[in-house]
Amino acid sequence: MIIELLVMKLTLDAIMQHCNTLGQEQEMRMEISQLRQRLVKFMNDYEAGAIDQATYSKKEAEIMASLSVLTQKINAQKGPQSFDTGIGL
């Protein structure tokens, strides 16, 4: 009975860890979407003449760097997915 409870606890811990990872990935995807929207807004502002080229270039570089970092984090999480049960087998 104790072994069954231990196995169930380890299984639930692995499921919770996976759910947390999925939640973090979703948050990063939402942040990427927001950054892309900001980039489009800056593009529109630049084309309308509301901001100059230097400001646009600076903001574009900042947003692209942030997008790159978030994309790398998502790709790193998508690596080989395995559940660590904590049992050294």
Render each residue's pLDDT in the chain as its tens digit; 89 residues: 889 999 999 999 999 999 998 999 899 989 999 999 999 999 999 999 999 999 999 999 999 999 999 888 888 877 655 444 444 43
Evaluated on CA atoms 56, 62, 68, 71, the torsion sign reads: negative
For 12, 39, 57, the CA distances from 44, given in Å and listed in that order, are: 48, 9, 13
pLDDT at 9: 95
pTM: 0.68
The residue extents of the domains of the chain are 2-77
